[in-house]
Amino acid sequence: MTAGISEMGGVMPAVRGLEPGNRAALVVNEMQNAIANLAYIETPLTSQVAARGIVARINALTAAFRAVGAPVIFCTIAARSADFEGFRVNCALAAGIRRKGHLVEGTANAAIHDDLAVEPSDIVCRRSHGMAPFTGTNLDATLRGYGIDTVVLAGVSTNIALPGAATEAVGLGYNVVLAEDCAAGATLETHHMQITEHLRLLATITDAASVIASLPVSQPPHSAQPAGT
């Protein structure tokens, strides 16, 4: 499912999953200083974040969601303490996080990217283990509390976390949209492979401008009703 990938140019079609009646939330994944900010650490991923200019577009996207009253959720990962107690190392990526030791709750390294605007109305969903934002967090309960139908994904990375997030979201019954020009992978080649071969099977692939154009003038507050009422 592809709708207006930024490189294609031309008129963008309507974004599947953001049709009238669908309630959307923006989930910005792992845009943290020690993961996505070249000023803190030089890695292939931080270089791609800078080269693709995704921070400015994420700021435009978050502003648009706030303007219509739709939830903006920042998902982060960080160990609870500097000794990484409770951080389960069960894969190579987790081992790398533990070895580098940058991502510790309450530190500048683990904070949301310095150049991203975070407003008091925004939600921060923290996790201390795992490679995707739903498992072991309150993200699903938060989205259901807002009556969300469609999750719009942005951030990093298209290597692991965003495909994981899309898989989890689909399994939980959500529509998924990926704002492709608000995301990055470790290399341009892996990013392109993921969005053209894998993520397109799970999500509508589009760009920030098309997402913004598809948002309603306002998203009315959701009134959750207790079961059986």
- Helix axis angle, 44-52 to 54-67, nearest 10°: 60
Domain spans, the chain:
15-214
The fold adopted by the segment(s) 15-214 is Rossmann fold (3.40.50)
Q: What is the pLDDT of residues 75-133, one digit of tens each?
A: 999 999 999 988 989 989 888 888 987 899 999 999 999 999 999 999 999 999 899 99
- 110, 32 Cβ separation under 8 angstroms: yes
CB atoms within 10 A of CB 27: 28
Tokens of 169: 């979201």
- Reported pTM: 0.90
CB atoms within 10 A of CB 7: 9
